Structure 1
Amino acid sequence: MTTTSGIPTTMRAAVLHGPGKLSVENRPVPAPGPGEVLVRVEAVGTCGSDVHYYREGRIGDFVVREPLVLGHEAAGTVVTCGPGTDERRTGRRVSIEPGTPCGSCGECRPGRYNLCPDMRFLATPPVDGAFCEYLAVREEFAHEVPDTLTIEEAALLEPLSVAVWACRKARVAPGDRVLITGAGPIGLVAAQTARAFGAREVLVTDVLPHRLELARAAGATALDVSRTPLSVAEYTPTVLLECSGVPAVSGEAIRTVGRAGRVVLIGMGGSEAPLPVSRVQNYELELTGTFRYAHTWPTAMSLVESGRVRLDSLVSHGYGLAEAESALTVATHDATAVKAVIYPQR
């Protein structure tokens, strides 16, 4: 059933009911509230967090306790506008920034809205995500994208934003030698972003040949650590971007960082990791974590539009909404899987 505006009253959504239990169901199309726009979702990337929730029903303290729609790397077209928004945005293509902060707390006011304690983030329990046909989004977090970007690139501005934020935290600058551990989607876009920020050399480590080849195609040097351990590679970075989330990997990588180097922990893995304290102290290393991003979409969009970052190389598989479960499990049976994209309108 559709309304006089042509917008359906119901939509399909891929709903997680528990570990390994995903079903496509009909739900009401949300009505955009004050300050919101309604987006027809056309592409959604699958993230490692989606896979964690699907497999285990939780990530750390975030636990799926009630049915949850997954997906937060989304893009689409604005189909209607709620009260107090610019109606001229109807028909515009947008990339969705998935976090909605409160805007008034002690973190939001200085601009650190990624650390807002009351953040509502798509596909983070109990907030439903974007594996659905329509999504109501606060207007300022629906970023208009130029026609030169594909809908897949618009969706993947979200993982690119993770890389932009990490490179900013690491203060990557011309002349830096960067080490990136893990050639998953984040590691691959981090390699391109570091080069765009001026790094003179980028080394990416992994154990999967096809991902290492993608790293080489992105202009990085690739190291298969199943053949050559990092400890004997004789590479001394000024910046470490740890993307694997594997505690043992991060400890080994920190030991290679040169004096006054910067270490940024990005990958989500174990809750604790061995820290080579003597290296941190004796070399005066700076070590920090990252949690999502803030104010990154304009930079991410510019990097893609200019050609300095290519996101199309990440997309390895595409699925309709009814195949959402396949998108979440493809990596278990296809070693070449990098990024699966779901097209909710299919």
Structure 2
Amino acid sequence: MRSLEIHGIDDLRVVDRDDPAPGPGEVQIAVEWGGICGSDLAYWRRGVSGTAVMSHPFVLGHEVSGRVSALGAGVSGPGVGSPVTVHPARTTGPLPERLRGRENLHPDLTYLGSAAGDPHTDGAFAQTITVRADQVVPLPAGLDTRRAVLAEPLGVAMHAVTRAGDLTGAHVLVSGCGPVGLLVVLAARDAGAARISAVDLSSPARERALALGADEALESAADMSEEITVAFEASGAPASLDGILRHIARASVVVQVGNLPPTPISVTLGPIVSQELEYRGTYRFASEIEDATRLLARTPRAEQVITHVLDLEDAHAAFTTAATDPASSKVVLRLS
């Protein structure tokens, strides 16, 4: 099988590997689609994603979909040929009681395509992968495998919305209209938000936000309405966060979705005190990926998040497009 390894900064290699056979309790999947995530780009551009530092080659990718190709011993389904996506997290041991319901914060967790541990965890940008049966998420009727490649990032967006609290009737802001920000627009609307304002410096990104259901698209948070009471910072840019904290209304909630740099940053924090703001973090997701597949099945316009599809052999061009093309959003690799 062909798989995509990263060997260093700007060093992607499509290599041949043996097809992995499913062991007991495992499922083999023929991967059809793989979405390039910001963490994949970070390893490619800097060799670091968040606090995870790459020290040896490994396979990238954690946003994938495809079809079951074989079942290991003791696995009863879904059957061979079933369309599925994958929950990238794998945990070992019990979850501490104080973290009940927050499996994404499990102290012993590995994630597909991550350099957080040593050895690193190979990802899913490969024509064939094996995962534990409990990581396999069957697709609902009406959802094809191409759109389903968005399930993992939509799970991230839905978890961020959960962290914000009840959005029923709220006017919310989404700052940063990359793929996750666009999916936050979808998730917020599904959660009952009455009005959604999107913010991005890029005109194509603002246009996509409107197509995905935002009511207005702004260039700056300085123009935000005083009626906004919940904001999602989805760019990871300190200047974006600073603008939100400076201009959002009193007693509002700010959810940090985008990854901030692992170094000190300059942000005006005074309003957290003087305006009694609630600043909340959000990290990956717990079980929201199953809800994400259902939302994708009933939301065909989610397909508009995908702007480019390239073959695995064109991985370098795909990564370059995702990193540098202002007209790009989610760039997807065709693996089958």
Question: Aligned ranges for residues 70-81 of structure 1 at < 5 Å?
Answer: 70-81=60-71
Q: How far apart are the structure 2 equivalents of 1:17 and 1:282?
A: 48
Question: RMSD of the TM alignment (CA)?
Answer: 1.8
Following superposition, the deviation at residue 72 of structure 1 comes to 0.7
Alignment of 1:23 with 2:17, yes or no, is: no
Alignment of 1:264 with 2:264, yes or no, is: no
Following superposition, the deviation at residue 123 of structure 1 comes to 0.7
1:277 corresponds to which residue? 269
Following superposition, the deviation at residue 51 of structure 1 comes to 0.8
Give ranges in structure 1 of 5+ residues lacking alignment. 1-10
CA 1:268–1:87: 2 relative to 1, 3 Å = closer
Single out whichever of 43-52 and 254-263 deviates more from structure 2.
254-263
Give ranges in structure 2 of 5+ residues lacking alignment. none
1:135 corresponds to which residue? 129
Aligned partner of residue 149 in structure 1, secondary structure: coil
Percent identical among aligned pairs is: 35
Following superposition, the deviation at residue 85 of structure 1 comes to 1.1
Deviations 1:93-144 (A, max 9, x none): 1111111112413169723211112211011010111111111111111100
Aligned partner letter, 1:316: T
Aligned partner letter, 1:306: R
Instruction: State the TM-score, normalized to the length of structure 1.
Output: 0.90
CA 1:288–1:107: 2 relative to 1, 3 Å = farther
Q: How far apart are the structure 2 equivalents of 1:203 and 1:87?
A: 42
Single out whichever of 110-119 and 71-80 deviates more from structure 2.
110-119
Q: How far apart are the structure 1 equivalents of 2:63 and 2:100?
A: 26
Alignment of 1:301 with 2:290, yes or no, is: no
Asked if 1 retains the 8 angstrom alpha-carbon contact of 2:224 and 2:248, the reply is: no
Alignment of 1:144 with 2:144, yes or no, is: no
2:331 corresponds to which residue? 340
Following superposition, the deviation at residue 19 of structure 1 comes to 0.4
2:74 corresponds to which residue? 84
2:200 corresponds to which residue? 206
1:5 corresponds to which residue? none
Following superposition, the deviation at residue 257 of structure 1 comes to 2.4
Q: How far apart are the structure 2 equivalents of 1:27 and 1:40?
A: 14
Asked if 1 retains the 8 angstrom alpha-carbon contact of 2:142 and 2:298, the reply is: no
Deviations 1:35-91 (A, max 9, x none): 210000011111111111111111132111111111110011111111221155222
Aligned partner letter, 2:100: P
CA 1:333–1:121: 2 relative to 1, 3 Å = closer
2:3 corresponds to which residue? 13
Instruction: State the TM-score, normalized to the length of structure 2.
Output: 0.93
Alignment of 1:193 with 2:187, yes or no, is: yes
Q: How far apart are the structure 1 equivalents of 2:265 and 2:326?
A: 27
Aligned partner letter, 1:208: S
1:114 corresponds to which residue? 104
1:36 corresponds to which residue? 26
CA 1:209–1:297: 2 relative to 1, 3 Å = same
Aligned partner of residue 136 in structure 1, secondary structure: strand
Aligned partner letter, 2:274: N
Alignment of 1:323 with 2:317, yes or no, is: no
